[in-house]
Chain A
């Protein structure tokens, strides 16, 4: 058993002192870009076994994407009472990192596979991903309609949709000032985006990493939405725009955008003027703002005292990719 497994066992002793949990397996889960994740199997004194997911911050100064673990924990605690969308049961939180080495959330590990994998399987056997697409759309439509007054008070609340958009675009101008090699593209894009704002919609809960990989489906029970670290209150169309650039196949938005958006409009009551392919295209620019800033911060740190790791260097390409996408959107929608 590795060091994390030993630490987790000590943590279990602290949070469940009467159950004498022993960690019998602990393995890292690779592939994520942001948090450090591990899967741990625990055998309790009474012989029962459970599997948990540990989701913690990377060591300070490493990694590219940062998010607030306290905020994520608060949100996970609030969601069951706020929305019809299900999430994995969040069991415990090492809020100081005393036991697990960094702030870490411990959740039940669901016996489930990702909706993305299910969509890929459906595509391979040619059964079509229509019902799975509907499931995906309905889940995120429900996320977006979460009553905001049931969300943690600490979540920032913009006054309204236009003010929120203004804030995002001001953020692009700020990035342009701080990162001069990106200034030409970002100034062009933020100016263009100000001049082409779509009709507003009510603010909603934005997941921030909207993709079928973050939905788990199993043989029983409801689908589970995971990875809430970038969730915030904003314009829900950000999630739609963000999803359009997810490269995993199949991307069910691009399979049939009109069908996808028709389903979303029916579920949310938004109009075709508010939600259509052009508007979704626009919201890719809005939905990528926070991640782009994190990429720029990490790129600027390369070569400094706090090495952000090889991922930061690798993802410089993602900055270029975003420049290309943003300018292409400006051209398409002009």
Chain B
């Protein structure tokens, strides 16, 4: 493979082309809006391309660690099943679809663990779940890149 430029750099170059080379030539307001949205999506994709496998792998580890910690204290059938399902995922693969699959399975295990912690009234475990989610939101915000909330 040709390693340089990296995927994110290629996408960012496309963004520049759209905004500097194509947008100024457009007169149709609807097309302009669609192009600006497309550029934002590409910027999001550039951030993801650079980091998403690492981010999902790291968070998968955190989600499953939480689920196992809850299972040790408040194991429930749904939680055990969700952990078993997560363990059966293609965890050795670094292909994006496999990493995403493992991440989703870990998310389901986390949700089952959170439900078990909530039902047990385990405030410390619920608080720990909030910490895990704080990290998730930080990542999602990084992906949002230049997105600005606009009115409907």
Interface residues of A (CB under 8 A from B): 28, 30-34, 116, 176, 180-181, 183-185, 187-188, 191, 209, 211, 213, 245-248, 310-311, 313-314, 316-318, 320-321, 323-324, 327, 330-331
Contact = CB atoms under 8 A, between A and B. Distances in A.
Given A34-B152, A314-B40, A318-B149, A191 B115 contact: yes
Contact of A180 (B41, B104, B132, B150): B104
6 contacts: A184-B114, A188-B114, A320-B141, A323-B137, A327-B134, A330-B130
Contact of B37 (A32, A310, A330, A331): A310
Contacts of A330: 130
Interface residues on B, range: 35 or more
A183 B107 CA distance: 7
B149 A184 contact: no
Contact of A314 (B37, B104, B115): B37
B129 A188 contact: yes
Contact of B144 (A28, A188, A321): A321
B62 to A, nearest CB: 10
B25 interface: no
B137 A327 contact: yes
A327 B144 CA distance: 17
Contacts of A311: 37
Contacts of B134: 327
Top 5 A-B pairs ranked by shortest CB distance?
A320-B140, A317-B147, A314-B37, A180-B104, A248-B151
Given A33-B152, A313-B41, A327-B130, A181 B103 contact: yes
A330 B107 CA distance: 20
Contacts of A28: 30
B143 interface: yes
Interface string B18-58: 00000000000110011001101100100000000000000
A32 B107 contact: no
B126 to A, nearest CB: 8
Given A185-B136, A327-B134, A30 B30 contact: yes
A184 B133 contact: yes
Contacts of B114: 184, 187-188, 191
B140 A324 contact: yes
A330 B127 CA distance: 11
